[in-house]
């Protein structure tokens, strides 16, 4: 089972002065079980792309095949949108803004009800979805979504998608606007959901540090095209090219780069902070087994701090 | 959602776009008043010619201007039908029960339809060539004299510009929420009226929640910066009348004069033309 996208083009407001081509011939194959990260600038076409996977835009040209549900530009052939939307679950940015029912239970039930399931199945799925996102079903089901905290609202909104039991889960900036603790929770929730419910996950994120934590493959969008489509460890070998199109690279990659410039021999591809820590420990052990102390490695702790906060500052720009 | 043609700025950078918005507002008012003085088909031809010229100068596709009539097509047809059936004057063509179709009625219905559609096209030209911000600035400036009778002109202008500023944001928001609910399997565009209204609830409720939240945030932001609408405020962009505004005024004046001449001097040029053709035929 695969998602295959062939030569996808899309233009907003065609034939007006506001015309803008958002997608320019995108080809992409996503395999079942992929944990795909998508990064790219605002306006690079990544959001437009993922909305296509859910049939939210009428296809203008190209072909999309989502687990054998076919989308074509031909108007006469009606695609099975209901089945598609049950297969691909789409969590938009700030999903809590889509809550509208007076109780959490009813809101989560909206999706499965629209799929035409019977009442028993709906309530079974609602209960499971609420529990999957880590909320207490009995405690929360009769509360109004508007009286919950920000993090809880977002969980309820995600539960509303999960209740449709999609095979593919797409999340657009799932941690936007949350505090570090809330981010952490949503990230571990996504990993949990991949294991328990939706085996294929696609996440759009601005935060490369975040995406390196879980994705096994990263697609970079730039100017409506796929610029890179690589496994995580290979992508950041192209750090300079990414920088050229204005994309950040993970902190760990930056630190590793600086260390290497200073003559520290770090082995392997370093992407996450854990990789970095591991590589530093290996390098340190290696040095000290040889009993030759390198003067270069003897920089003060103060300087090291400065390097890190320096890169931090750039991140926040 | 995005195809609402009425009241959408269409940037071409033409001379019409660069006219002083106050002048354009006044021209529109003159146009609207003048169109109610049109009595003959020749007069309507002059109006159409005037609009076509403005279209040409402003480089706005006539197709877009015609599209703005679509929004009021129903009202137009409705008034036309009512007029045909119930306006009673001139030679009777068909008579049945309370309905009486007369030559005068048909004539009146056609003229009314022309009047409404030309009126809408003319005013839509204003919104095609003027940004909403320019419009509020113009209205504020034009309403200034009311300050002396203690009308809070600036507050009114501020409320208007805030309302206008919210429209695109809310439209985007509506789009987003609709997408999100569609992704959850909501069927928004299908079914009968009751079903459609019911299907709009999942869109409307979040939309209202977000509109109220945005308004609240904006009010806080204004307060936090000690915004005070009533003090003597200065403007970043000062409106200035120039030669091109004068030229445009002359053009509009010629148009209005032609219409008034037609009504008061000739009493409608149609009869002259009819006579002229009668003369040719014999």
Domain spans of chain B? 15-142+240-281, 169-224
Q: What is the 3-state secondary structure (H, E, C) of A121-173?
A: HHHHHHHHHHHHCCCCHHHHCCCCHHHCCHHHHHHHHHHHHHCCCCCEEEEEC
pLDDT at residue A77, as a whole number: 67
The last residue of a domain, from among A195, A219, A244: A244
> B residues 190-209 near A, CB within 8 Å?
201-202, 205-206, 209
Q: Which of A229, A244, A259 is the last residue of a domain?
A: A244
Averaged confidence pLDDT in chain B: 85
Share of chain A above pLDDT 90, in %: 43
Q: Does residue A205 sit in the same domain as residue A99?
A: yes
Instruction: Report yes or no: A9 and A25 within 8 Å, Cβ to Cβ.
Output: yes
Give the pairing of strands B99-102 and B92-96: antiparallel
Are residues A161 and A279 part of one domain? no
The shortest CB-CB distance from B10 to any of A17, A86, A92 is to: A17
pLDDT of residue B5: 37
Q: What is the total count of domains within chain A?
A: 2
Same domain, A268 and A234: no
User: CA-CA distance, A43 to A6, in Å (whole number)?
Assistant: 21
Are A94 and A65 found together in one domain? yes
Give the separation between CA B168 and CA B179, rounded to whole angstroms: 17
Cβ atoms B144, B153 nearer than 8 A: yes
Inter-CA distances, B192 with A14, A82, A110, A258, B76, Å: 30, 19, 20, 65, 25
The pLDDT tens digits of the residues spanning B212-233 come to 998 999 999 989 988 876 667 7
Q: Which domain holds residue A272?
A: 251-315
Interval A24-74: pLDDT, tens: 999 999 999 999 999 988 888 999 999 999 988 888 889 999 998 888 887
**Burial classification of residue A21, based on how many CB atoms lie within 10 Å of its CB (0-12 exposed, 13-18 middle, 19 or more buried):** middle
Q: Tell me the CATH number at A29.
A: 3.40.50.300
A164 to chain B: which residues are within 8 Å by CB?
Answer: 184-185
Mean of pLDDT values over A255-267: 86
Taking 80 as the threshold, does the pLDDT of residue A18 lie above it? no
Whether residues B202 and A100 touch (CB distance < 8 A) is answered with yes
* Same domain, residue pair A90 and A236: yes
CB contact under 8 A, B185 and A13: no
Using one digit for the tens of pLDDT, what is the confidence trace for B160-214? Answer: 878 877 887 888 888 889 989 989 888 877 767 787 788 888 899 999 988 999 8
pTM score over 0.90: no
- d(CA A5, CA A46) in angstroms, rounded, equals 13
pLDDT for res B231: 60
H or E element in which residue A218 lies: strand A217-222
Is the pLDDT assigned to residue A296 strictly greater than 60?
no
Q: Which residue of A has its CA nearest to B4?
A: A13
pLDDT, chain A, mean: 85
This complex has an ipTM of 0.80
Both A11 and A59 in one domain: the answer is yes
Q: What's the rounded Cα separation, in Å, for the pair A31 and A28?
A: 10
B211 shares contact with chain A (CB less than 8 Å)? no
| Residue A161 to residue B183, Cβ atoms within 8 A | yes
Distance CA A55, CA A166 (A): 14
Query: How much is the pLDDT for B198?
Result: 80
Residue pairs spanning A and B at CB distance below 8 A: 59
């Amino acid at each position: 089972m695969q998602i295959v996208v062939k030569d996808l083009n899309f233009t907003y407001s065609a034939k007006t002065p506001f015309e803008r081509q958002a997608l320019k011939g995108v080809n992409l194959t996503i395999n079942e079980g992929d944990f795909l990260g998508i990064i790219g600038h605002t306006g690079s076409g990544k959001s437009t792309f993922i909305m296509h996977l859910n049939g939210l835009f009428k296809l203008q040209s190209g072909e999309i095949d989502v687990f054998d549900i076919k989308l074509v530009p031909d108007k006469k052939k009606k695609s099975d949108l209901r089945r598609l939307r049950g297969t691909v679950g789409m969590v938009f940015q700030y999903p809590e803004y889509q809550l509208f029912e007076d109780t959490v239970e009813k809101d989560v039930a909206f999706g499965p009800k629209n799929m035409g399931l019977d009442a028993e199945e709906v309530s079974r799925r609602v209960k499971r979805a609420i529990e999957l996102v880590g909320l207490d079903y009995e405690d929360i089901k009769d509360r109004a979504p508007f009286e919950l905290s920000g993090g809880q609202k977002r969980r309820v909104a995600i539960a509303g998608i999960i209740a449709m039991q999609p095979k593919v889960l797409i999340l657009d900036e799932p941690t936007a606007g949350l505090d570090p603790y809330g981010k952490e929770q949503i990230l571990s929730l996504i990993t949990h959901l991949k294991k328990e419910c939706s085996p294929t996950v696609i996440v759009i994120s601005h935060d490369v540090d975040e995406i390196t934590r879980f994705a096994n493959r990263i697609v970079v969008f730039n100017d409506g095209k796929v610029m890179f489509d690589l496994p995580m460890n290979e992508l950041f070998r192209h750090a300079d090219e990414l920088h050229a199109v204005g994309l950040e690279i993970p902190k760990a990659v930056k630190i590793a780069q600086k260390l290497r410039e200073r003559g520290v021999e770090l082995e392997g591809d370093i992407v996450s902070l854990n990789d970095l820590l591991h590589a530093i420990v290996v390098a340190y052990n290696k040095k000290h087994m040889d009993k030759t102390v390198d003067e270069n490695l003897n920089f003060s702790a103060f300087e090291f701090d400065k390097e890190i906060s320096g890169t931090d500052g750039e991140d926040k720009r | 959602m995005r195809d609402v043609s009425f009241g959408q700025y269409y940037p071409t950078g033409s001379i019409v776009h660069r006219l002083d918005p106050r002048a354009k507002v006044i021209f529109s008012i003159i146009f609207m008043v003048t169109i109610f003085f049109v009595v003959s088909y020749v007069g309507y031809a002059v109006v159409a010619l005037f609009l076509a010229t403005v279209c040409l100068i402003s480089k706005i596709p006539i197709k877009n201007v015609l599209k703005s009539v679509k929004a009021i097509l129903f009202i137009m047809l409705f008034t036309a039908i009512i007029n045909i059936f119930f306006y009673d004057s001139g030679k009777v063509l068909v008579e049945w029960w309370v309905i009486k179709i007369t030559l005068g009625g048909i004539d009146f219905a056609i003229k009314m339809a022309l009047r409404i559609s030309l009126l809408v096209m003319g005013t839509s030209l204003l919104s095609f060539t003027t940004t909403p911000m320019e419009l509020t600035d113009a209205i504020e400036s034009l309403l200034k004299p009311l300050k002396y009778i203690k009308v809070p002109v600036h507050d009114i202008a501020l409320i208007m510009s805030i309302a206008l500023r919210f429209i695109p944001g809310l439209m985007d928001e509506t789009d987003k929420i609709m997408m999100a609910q569609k992704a959850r399997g909501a069927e928004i565009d299908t079914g009968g009226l009751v079903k459609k209204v019911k299907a709009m609830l999942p869109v409307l409720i979040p939309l209202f929640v977000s509109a109220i939240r945005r308004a609240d945030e904006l009010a806080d932001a204004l307060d936090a910066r000690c915004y005070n609408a009533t003090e003597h405020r200065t403007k970043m962009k000062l409106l200035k009348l120039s030669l091109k505004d004068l030229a445009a005024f002359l053009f509009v004046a010629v148009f209005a004069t032609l219409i008034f001449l037609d009504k008061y001097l000739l009493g409608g040029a149609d009869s002259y033309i009819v006579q002229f053709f009668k003369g040719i035929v014999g």
